[in-house]
């Protein structure tokens, strides 16, 4: 069997013809395997969905219980027979419940890794490399300029600023699923034991993390609080809100943004960010190439991001590689920040 | 160096002056000598060493990275120093470079002052190996001389003053006699050392500034106790010279904020063979006529000045005041006496590049108002176009640094005013980061009928907070296009918003598409009532330029 007989890219996303399933399809399909809960990978309206229990729960939180015709929870590491093809889910270290999906048939194994990272994250299971023939990798930060720093130093930067400007409010933009909760957890590790204030759009997912056994300490919604009560506070909100009308209710805010993109100054300035925090849920350049090596794959397919550089690196290191040109990814999570990422809170913000 | 880099990094993103001040003071308080002294020198722009050329940095990175990956990265990041800082390979494992301690800023500054050209690449590479991403960025910015962190020398000095009870002007008084690492200055500021001895023969003296005069002020002022002179549209400077112990003259030209700008004006520096401090206006004079501010701008902020520049843009000082003469501090004397000393001194100097700004004769405020309305007939003659109003000074006023109340007033011309159409808006910074607060406005081409809108300027102040909210709402509701952080708003003859824009001056400009450039444009009124089709036209602005050149009355 050739790799292209097992997995092929289609307008709907990666497709496995012998099992008739799509992986992370961007439009409704009959049978879908989902790597993780970010909205560009996990969409509603599929017939049957196979994903980890956490990912299914996240989809239910975001889209309602009836987000798919039927669902099946995949246990990590247990092969599931899809009719001549087996699919096995392995942890990807990206967000809670995130998984790589190994698809295997006739001795050929392809791993679709979805989005992943290798850096430590107290809120989800760490990535496990899976030996394979073809490794499908993202390349969100696929340029050698992206080497994510130690997250502790970034969080310390935030805390130092809070100490220096105790009368101001620090508003931190962070993606609603994963980054926000990781940041809360990192703040706790760094010794911040006061309340962490949140935008209403983060409420349900944060509660879900807590319920899944990720302790985040006292988390308080900002809605209804008087302006003066937020002096010296740390407020976490979706990235679209840091510069929007919503941010005007806070005392002399310092705008921060937790993202791998903050490594590049022009990006931070474009967003009006005053305190960039380089905290990413994606693999950086060093981790991308280390991971490719660890899988032992002889061939690499690159999905979304900076494909050119990673493909070039593979080829110059004797690994066959090509870009997949999948469309529709990178809309959530660490999407390349555009001008105005239309803020679409999962729950409408009520009150003032 | 890594801590200094973290400071620069934070300053580069911070837009608020007070926040910058706090960051600097916090750094100075928590950083030991001599490190903080070199940081002060770097932020105040007083570090001098041979800069590294971008070519050297390119060569270093080319030895260490794949050219295709470097090309893709540089394309993406868009800044050479930053790209190199981010992709510089970190030495891993045992071997050269590993465990290299990061250099201190003091080490960097001291070594750069005497490093040989052939040693520089190796030295730089060793430093880059020892630093983190931000540290490498800061080092590369420092040595390529492009530290753009929005900190003025004045702000850096204010941060030192804030370490203790000193005022920024106290620092100014001693500043130019001191050098990095400024240990004595910090000791003084922190209250555990004496005031450093300023033995600089040509020190800066903080200037005296004026308050804008308001209508009610005239009733309380007796014209006979006041003097008036023209306010020239140039750059306020202090020209200072004195003798060194060996008898030779040292001369310096300072900006109003105490920046030493002598380097850009060697022609003036040579003319200052004196032991004196003159407060005056820097102008360009051609055949005795004062040129517009636009012409003067050609000579500002230049690292080196070509001989052609010196001939085409001859610099001149029009003196207002005399602060110091032959070892005597004149500042406590009344203005009237200083003025007499100034006239005698400039006459004795007989230097064609220096003259005294004439006084305006007047017996009543009405007479002064008439002179201000027509400077050409009131003594300014052909230079009337370079007059931007008058200064009114108490004849008995001592020279007091800062902006003391009740002594000096400025009575500027009424601004020019036009009606322009809002075309684009961009979000502001800091407190304004959620507001569209930078407005690009345009006027119609052609004398009449349907024309095109051509952008003529940008304004980001002049409105109240409440008006800003309304403008922001208008922009959000009337966006027709987005380009990165910029929004294009609807602008058609029957749709859009007219802004009344006030500005201080207007000149021809080859750099702007419209061919005109305004000085200090701001939104003076929002014309919700006026259809854009009735806004002003480019030929009107061109006529304003012609009138401005002759110093005539102003409204469009």
Tens digits of residue pLDDT in B289-313: 998 887 888 888 777 788 898 899 9
Cα–Cα dist A255/B194, whole Å? 41
The answer to whether the Cβ–Cβ distance between A309 and B69 falls below 8 Å is yes
C-beta of residue A61 within 8 angstroms of C-beta of residue A346: yes
Nearest CA distance, B159 vs chain A (angstrom): 15
Nearest CA distance, B359 vs chain A (angstrom): 47
Q: In sequence order, what are the residues at sequence separation of 6 or more whose Cβ sits closer than 8 angstroms to the Cβ of residue B17?
A: B155
Give the whole-number percent of chain B exceeding pLDDT 90. 55
Q: How many CB atoms lie within 10 A of CB A11?
A: 11
Burial class (CB in 10 A: 0-12, 13-18, 19+), A108: middle
pLDDT band at residue A330 using 50, 70 and 90 as cut-offs: low
On whether any CB of chain A is under 8 Å from the CB of B427, the answer is yes
**CA proximity to A41, closest of A309, A322, A49, A338:** A49
Give the whole-number percent of chain B exceeding pLDDT 70. 96
Cα–Cα dist A243/A264, whole Å? 19
Q: Quote the tokens at residue B210.
A: 């004026």
User: What is the torsion angle, in degrees rounded to the nearest 10, for the CA atoms of residue A318, residue A322, residue A328 and residue A334?
Assistant: 20
Beta bridge partners of B523: B501
Q: Identify all chain B residues contacting A147, using CB atoms and an 8 Å cutoff.
A: 86, 90, 133
| Residue B271 clears pLDDT 50, i.e. is over it | yes
- Rank A235-239, A338-342, B108-112 by mean pLDDT and report only the highest: A235-239
Q: Identify all chain A residues contacting B10, using CB atoms and an 8 Å cutoff.
A: 161, 275
Q: Quote the tokens at residue B169.
A: 């002007």
SS3 B315: strand
Q: Identify all chain A residues contacting B15, using CB atoms and an 8 Å cutoff.
A: 274
Give the whole-number percent of chain A exceeding pLDDT 70. 93
Q: Identify all chain B residues contacting A316, using CB atoms and an 8 Å cutoff.
A: 66
Average confidence (pLDDT) over A34-49: 95
CA A275 to chain CA centroid, Å, is: 21
For A246, nearest residue in chain B (alpha carbons): B434
Cα–Cα dist A22/A29, whole Å? 7
- Name the more confident of B2 and B392: B392
| Residue B98 clears pLDDT 60, i.e. is over it | no
C-beta of residue B54 within 8 angstroms of C-beta of residue B144: yes
**pLDDT tens-digit map of A106-128:** 999 999 999 999 999 999 999 99
SS3 A75: coil
Burial class (CB in 10 A: 0-12, 13-18, 19+), B540: middle
Burial class (CB in 10 A: 0-12, 13-18, 19+), B447: exposed
Cα–Cα dist B546/B556, whole Å? 12
On whether any CB of chain A is under 8 Å from the CB of B83, the answer is yes
Average confidence (pLDDT) over B61-68: 94
C-beta of residue B44 within 8 angstroms of C-beta of residue B157: yes
| Residue B553 clears pLDDT 80, i.e. is over it | no
Q: Quote the tokens at residue B146.
A: 């492009």
The answer to whether the Cβ–Cβ distance between B434 and A248 falls below 8 Å is yes
**pLDDT tens-digit map of B177-234:** 788 899 999 999 999 999 998 678 888 898 999 999 988 899 899 999 999 999 998 9
The answer to whether the Cβ–Cβ distance between A147 and B429 falls below 8 Å is no
Q: What is the pLDDT of residue A336?
A: 43
User: What is the b/e burial string over B89-111, where b = at least 16 CB atoms within 10 angstroms of the residue's CB?
Assistant: eeeeeeeebeeeebbbbbebbbb
- Name the more confident of B200 and B23: B23
User: In this complex, which of B14, B132, B427 lies closest to A274 when CB atoms are compared?
Assistant: B14
Residues within 8 A of A (CB atoms), B 117-156 only: 132-133
Mean pLDDT lowest for which of A54-68, A143-157, B80-94?
B80-94
**CA proximity to A156, closest of A328, A278, A319:** A278
For B24, nearest residue in chain A (alpha carbons): A164
The answer to whether the Cβ–Cβ distance between B72 and A143 falls below 8 Å is yes
CA A97 to chain CA centroid, Å, is: 11
Nearest CA distance, B532 vs chain A (angstrom): 28
On whether any CB of chain A is under 8 Å from the CB of B73, the answer is yes
For B484, nearest residue in chain A (alpha carbons): A339
Q: Identify all chain A residues contacting B84, using CB atoms and an 8 Å cutoff.
A: none
Nearest CA distance, A210 vs chain B (angstrom): 32
The answer to whether the Cβ–Cβ distance between A149 and B79 falls below 8 Å is no
Q: Quote the tokens at residue B141.
A: 């910015």
- State the DSSP code for A204: H
- State the number of CA atoms in the 13 A half-sphere of B458 facing the CB: 11
Residues within 8 A of A (CB atoms), B 11-50 only: 12-15, 19, 22-23, 26
| Residue B114 clears pLDDT 50, i.e. is over it | yes
3 state SS for A81-150:
ECCCCEEEEEECCCCCCCEEEEEEECCEEEEECCCCCCCCCCCCCCCCCCCCCEEEEEECCCCCCCCCCC
User: What is the b/e burial string over A193-216, where b = at least 16 CB atoms within 10 angstroms of the residue's CB?
Assistant: eeebbbbbbbbebbebbeebebeb
User: What is the torsion angle, in degrees rounded to the nearest 10, for the CA atoms of residue B321, residue B327, residue B329 and residue B333?
Assistant: -70
Q: At what angle do helices A179-189 and A151-164 cross, to 10 degrees?
A: 70
Q: Identify all chain A residues contacting B78, using CB atoms and an 8 Å cutoff.
A: 266
Average confidence (pLDDT) over B97-113: 81
**CA proximity to B41, closest of B207, B130, B160, B150:** B160
Q: What is the pLDDT of residue B430?
A: 63
pLDDT band at residue B50 using 50, 70 and 90 as cut-offs: low
For A339, nearest residue in chain B (alpha carbons): B484
- State the DSSP code for B457: E
Q: Quote the tokens at residue B296.
A: 């003067």
What is the distance in angstroms between the CA of the first residue and the CA of the last residue of chain A? Answer: 59
Q: How many residue pairs from chains A and B have C-beta atoms closer than 8 A?
A: 87
Q: What is the pLDDT of residue B117?
A: 83
Residue for token digits 């966006």? B479
Nearest CA distance, A246 vs chain B (angstrom): 9
Cα–Cα dist A28/A50, whole Å? 14
Mean pLDDT lowest for which of B6-10, B49-53, B149-153, B157-161?
B49-53
Which residue pairs, CB below 8 angstroms and at least 24 apart, start in A42-50?
A: A44/A68, A48/A72, A50/A21, A50/A74, A50/A80, A50/A87
Q: Quote the tokens at residue B288.
A: 């005795």
The number of helix segments (H) and strand segments (E) in chain B equals 20, 20
* Chain A residues within 8 angstroms (CB to CB) of chain B: 143-147, 149, 157, 161, 164-165, 243-245, 247-248, 252, 255, 263-266, 268-270, 272-276, 306, 308-309, 312-313, 316, 339-340
On whether any CB of chain A is under 8 Å from the CB of B452, the answer is no
| Residue A352 clears pLDDT 80, i.e. is over it | no
On whether any CB of chain A is under 8 Å from the CB of B87, the answer is yes
User: What ipTM was reported for this prediction?
Assistant: 0.90
CA distances (Å), B556 to each of A210, B415, B417, B454, in order?
66, 10, 6, 18
Residues within 8 A of A (CB atoms), B 312-351 only: none
Q: What is the pLDDT of residue B257?
A: 81
Cα–Cα dist B102/A166, whole Å? 31
Q: What is the pLDDT of residue A341?
A: 34
For B11, nearest residue in chain A (alpha carbons): A274
Q: Identify all chain B residues contacting A308, using CB atoms and an 8 Å cutoff.
A: 72
**CA proximity to B300, closest of B253, B354, B244, B242:** B253
The answer to whether the Cβ–Cβ distance between A165 and B19 falls below 8 Å is yes
User: What is the b/e burial string over A118-154, where b = at least 16 CB atoms within 10 angstroms of the residue's CB?
Assistant: bbebebbbebebbebbbbbbbbbbbbbbbbbbebeeb
pLDDT band at residue B355 using 50, 70 and 90 as cut-offs: very high
Mean pLDDT lowest for which of A250-254, A323-327, B24-28, B502-506?
A323-327
**pLDDT tens-digit map of A148-196:** 999 999 999 999 999 999 999 999 999 999 999 999 999 999 999 999 9
The answer to whether the Cβ–Cβ distance between A313 and B66 falls below 8 Å is yes
The bridge status of strand A68-73 relative to strand A46-51 is parallel
The answer to whether the Cβ–Cβ distance between B429 and A272 falls below 8 Å is yes
Cα–Cα dist A270/A243, whole Å? 11
Q: What is the pLDDT of residue A70?
A: 97
**pLDDT tens-digit map of B433-471:** 678 899 999 999 988 878 899 999 999 989 988 899 899
User: In this complex, which of A245, A272, A339 lies closest to B482 when CB atoms are compared?
Assistant: A339
The bridge status of strand A99-105 relative to strand A86-91 is antiparallel
Burial class (CB in 10 A: 0-12, 13-18, 19+), B478: middle
Cα–Cα dist A119/B67, whole Å? 28
C-beta of residue B17 within 8 angstroms of C-beta of residue B431: no
Nearest CA distance, A172 vs chain B (angstrom): 14
- State the DSSP code for B359: B
pTM: 0.77
Cα–Cα dist A178/A280, whole Å? 10
| Residue A350 clears pLDDT 50, i.e. is over it | no
| Residue B19 clears pLDDT 70, i.e. is over it | yes
Cα–Cα dist B356/B351, whole Å? 11
Average confidence (pLDDT) over A94-103: 98
Residue for token digits 């102003």? B554
Average confidence (pLDDT) over B340-352: 95
What is the distance in angstroms between the CA of the first residue and the CA of the last residue of chain B? Answer: 55
Q: What is the pLDDT of residue B264?
A: 87
| Residue A345 clears pLDDT 50, i.e. is over it | no
C-beta of residue B150 within 8 angstroms of C-beta of residue B15: yes
Best residue in A139, A143, A152 to probe B by mutation, most B CBs within 10 Å? A143
Best residue in A260, A274, A317 to probe B by mutation, most B CBs within 10 Å? A274
């Amino acid at each position: 069997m050739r790799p292209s007989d097992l997995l092929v890219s289609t307008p709907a996303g990666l497709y496995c013809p012998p099992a008739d399933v799509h992986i992370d399809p961007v439009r409704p399909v009959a049978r879908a395997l989902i790597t993780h809960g970010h909205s560009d990978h996990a969409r509603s309206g599929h017939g049957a969905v196979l994903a980890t229990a956490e990912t299914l729960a996240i989809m239910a939180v975001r889209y309602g219980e009836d987000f798919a015709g039927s669902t099946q929870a995949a246990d990590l590491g247990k092969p599931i027979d899809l009719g001549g093809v087996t699919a096995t889910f392995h942890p990807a270290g990206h967000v809670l419940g995130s998984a790589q999906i190994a698809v295997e048939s006739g001795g050929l194994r392809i791993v679709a890794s979805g989005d992943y990272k290798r850096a430590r994250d107290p809120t989800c299971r760490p990535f496990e490399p899976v030996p394979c023939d073809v490794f499908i990798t993202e390349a969100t930060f696929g340029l050698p300029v992206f080497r994510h720093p130690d997250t502790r130093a970034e969080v310390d930067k935030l805390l130092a600023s809070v100490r220096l400007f105790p009368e101001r409010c620090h508003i931190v933009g962070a993606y609603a699923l994963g980054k926000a909760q990781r940041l809360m957890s990192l703040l706790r590790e760094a010794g911040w034991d006061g309340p962490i204030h949140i935008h209403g759009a983060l409420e349900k997912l944060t509660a879900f993390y807590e319920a899944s056994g990720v302790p985040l300490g006292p988390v308080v919604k900002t809605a209804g609080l008087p302006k003066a009560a937020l002096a010296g506070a740390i407020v976490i909100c979706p990235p679209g809100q840091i510069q929007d009308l919503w941010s005007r209710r806070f005392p002399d805010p310092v705008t921060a943004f937790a993202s791998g993109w903050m490594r590049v100054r022009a990006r931070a300035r474009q967003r009006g960010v005053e305190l960039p925090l380089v905290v990413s849920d994606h693999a950086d350049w060093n981790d991308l190439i280390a991971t490719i090596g660890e899988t032992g794959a002889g061939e690499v397919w690159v999905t979304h991001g900076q494909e050119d550089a990673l493909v070039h690196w593979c080829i110059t290191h004797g690994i066959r590689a090509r870009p997949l040109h999948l469309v529709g990814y990178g809309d959530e999570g660490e999407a390349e920040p555009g001008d105005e990422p239309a803020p679409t809170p999962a729950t409408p913000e009520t009150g003032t | 160096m890594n801590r200094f880099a973290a400071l620069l990094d934070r300053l580069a993103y911070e837009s608020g002056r007070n926040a910058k001040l706090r960051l600097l003071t916090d750094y100075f308080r928590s950083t030991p000598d001599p490190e903080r002294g070199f940081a002060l020198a770097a932020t105040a722009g007083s570090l001098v060493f041979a800069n590294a050329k971008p070519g050297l940095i390119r060569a270093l990175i080319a030895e260490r990275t794949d050219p295709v990956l470097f090309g893709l990265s540089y394309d993406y990041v868009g800044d050479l120093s930053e790209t190199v800082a981010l992709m510089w390979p970190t030495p891993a494992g045992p071997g050269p470079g590993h465990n290299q301690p990061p250099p201190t800023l003091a080490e960097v500054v001291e070594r750069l002052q005497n490093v040989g050209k052939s040693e520089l690449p190796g030295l730089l590479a060793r430093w880059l190996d020892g630093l983190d991403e931000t540290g490498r960025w800061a080092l590369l910015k420092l040595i390529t001389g492009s530290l753009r962190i929005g900190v003025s020398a004045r702000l850096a000095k204010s941060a030192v003053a804030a370490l203790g009870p000193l005022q920024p002007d106290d620092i100014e008084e001693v500043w130019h006699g001191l050098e990095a690492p400024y240990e004595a200055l910090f000791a003084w500021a922190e209250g555990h050392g004496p005031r450093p001895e300023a033995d600089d023969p040509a020190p800066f003296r903080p200037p005296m500034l004026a308050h804008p005069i308001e209508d009610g002020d005239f009733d309380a002022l007796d014209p006979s106790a006041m003097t008036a002179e023209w306010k020239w549209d140039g750059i306020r400077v202090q020209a200072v010279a004195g003798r060194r112990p060996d008898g030779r003259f040292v001369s310096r030209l300072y900006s109003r904020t105490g920046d030493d700008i002598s380097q850009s004006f060697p022609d003036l520096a040579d003319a200052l063979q004196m032991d004196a401090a003159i407060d005056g206006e820097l102008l360009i004079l051609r055949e005795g006529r004062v040129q517009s501010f636009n012409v003067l701008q050609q000579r500002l902020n230049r690292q080196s000045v070509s001989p052609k520049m010196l001939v085409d843009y001859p610099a001149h000082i029009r003196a207002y005041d005399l602060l110091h003469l032959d070892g005597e501090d004149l500042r406590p004397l009344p203005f009237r006496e200083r003025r007499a000393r100034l006239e005698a001194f400039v006459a004795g100097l007989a230097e064609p590049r220096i003259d005294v700004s004439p006084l305006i004769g007047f017996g009543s405020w009405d007479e002064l108002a008439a002179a201000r309305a027509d400077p050409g007939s009131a003594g300014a003659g052909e230079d009337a176009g370079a007059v931007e109003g008058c200064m009114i000074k108490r004849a008995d006023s001592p020279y007091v640094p800062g902006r003391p109340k009740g002594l000096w007033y400025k009575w500027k011309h009424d601004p020019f005013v036009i009606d322009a159409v809002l075309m684009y808006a961009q979000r502001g910074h800091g407190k304004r980061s959620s507001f569209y607060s930078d407005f690009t406005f345009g006027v119609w081409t052609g004398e009449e009928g349907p024309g095109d809108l051509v952008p003529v300027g940008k304004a980001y102040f002049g409105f109240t907070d409440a008006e800003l909210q309304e403008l922001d709402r208008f922009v959000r509701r009337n966006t027709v296009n987005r380009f990165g952080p910029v929004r294009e708003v609807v602008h058609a003859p029957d749709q859009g918003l007219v802004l009344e824009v006030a500005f201080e001056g207007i000149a021809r400009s080859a750099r702007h598409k419209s061919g005109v450039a305004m000085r200090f444009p701001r939104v003076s009124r929002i014309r919700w009532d006026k259809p854009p089709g009735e806004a002003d036209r480019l030929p009107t602005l061109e006529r304003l330029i012609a009138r401005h050149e002759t110093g005539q009355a102003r409204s469009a």
